[in-house]
Chain A
Amino acid sequence: MRATVLVRPKQGILDPQGEAVGSALGHLGFEVQDARVGKVIDLELEAADEAAARAEVEQMCERLLANPLIESYEVEIVG
């Protein structure tokens, strides 16, 4: 089974990388009100079903993939 984890800087946490990207987009003539930069982690794993895979990946996020003080995460299971 495939899973994609999206890790984002939490709301309210200063994201200078996002600000730099937003400002660079402005230089290119694009108007964006806000830009935030996170990361994507693609995983392949064995699991009985989608619910089991989701539970497993959420454990991975809590224990390693995200730091809950500074990052939020979202798990997508792609069958």
Chain B
Amino acid sequence: MASPQPRIGVVTYPGSQDDRDALWALAALDAEAVPVWHEERELPDLDAVVVPGGFSYGDYLRCGAIARFSPATAAVREFAEAGGLVLGICNGFQILCEAGLLPGALLRNESLRFVCRDVELTVERDDLAFTGRCTTGQRLVLPVKHGDGRYLPPPELDPAQIVLRYLDNPNGSVDGIAGVCNEAGNVLGLMPHPEHAVDPLLGSDDGALILASLVDAARERVLAAI
């Protein structure tokens, strides 16, 4: 039997920018990439969801604060609470924090400058659906591009929820945290952009490790359901 193609949704909000890159990257990594419009109250049949980067709803009030009330975000919340795999990238990370699906908050970069460059990261754990193709301690190079990426964890954050750390902290994040997961490990948020780094022509293809891990995990869920 041919290996099944998992269906991975990518949400588009007004102001999303990286939704197309995420769709392209997922399709290149052999997933069926499914666009999800922000007005959709129910998700189509999906094996994972990506909440992409951009400036949803103009990032008015606080980054991600308005997108949290969008119908598609409510559907993503239901999906995540039922154990579904959800990856939030950049603005998607901010939205998931505002929605309470991930702990903490993202504040203005310490430098007050927008940073747009490649950063080096270390993988803190490789036992998640998002890091299966990585090894703990592995270094990745991924691009960041954000003005509000300074992660502030809640005081009670379990250190085991830290999935990625910056080697060269670009924004003043506490403890160099670049990516965190929820307690159950089925929701990950990160500021760097794996979808912009899936081909060596783009400077790095390390992003493919994260996205292909997600595709693998989503495929396993399809197989488990057969």
Contact = CB atoms under 8 A, between A and B. Distances in A.
Interface of A: 13-14, 16-17, 20, 64-65, 67, 69-70
B105 A69 contact: yes
Nearest to B150: A14
Q: Is the interface of B mostly helix, strand, loop or mixed?
A: loop
A20 B112 contact: yes
Nearest to A37: B108
18 contacts: A13-B152, A14-B110, A14-B150, A16-B108, A16-B109, A16-B110, A16-B111, A16-B172, A17-B112, A64-B61, A64-B65, A65-B61, A67-B62, A67-B98, A69-B105, A69-B154, A70-B107, A70-B152
Interface string B85-116: 00000000000001000001101111110000
Nearest to B106: A70
Contacts of B110: 14, 16
A70 B104 CA distance: 9
Interface residues of B, number: 16
A70 B110 CA distance: 15
Interface string B131-154: 000000000000000000010101
Contacts of A65: 61
Nearest to B155: A69
A45 B73 CA distance: 28
A67 B62 CA distance: 9
A14 B65 CA distance: 20
Contact of A14 (B62, B104, B172): B172
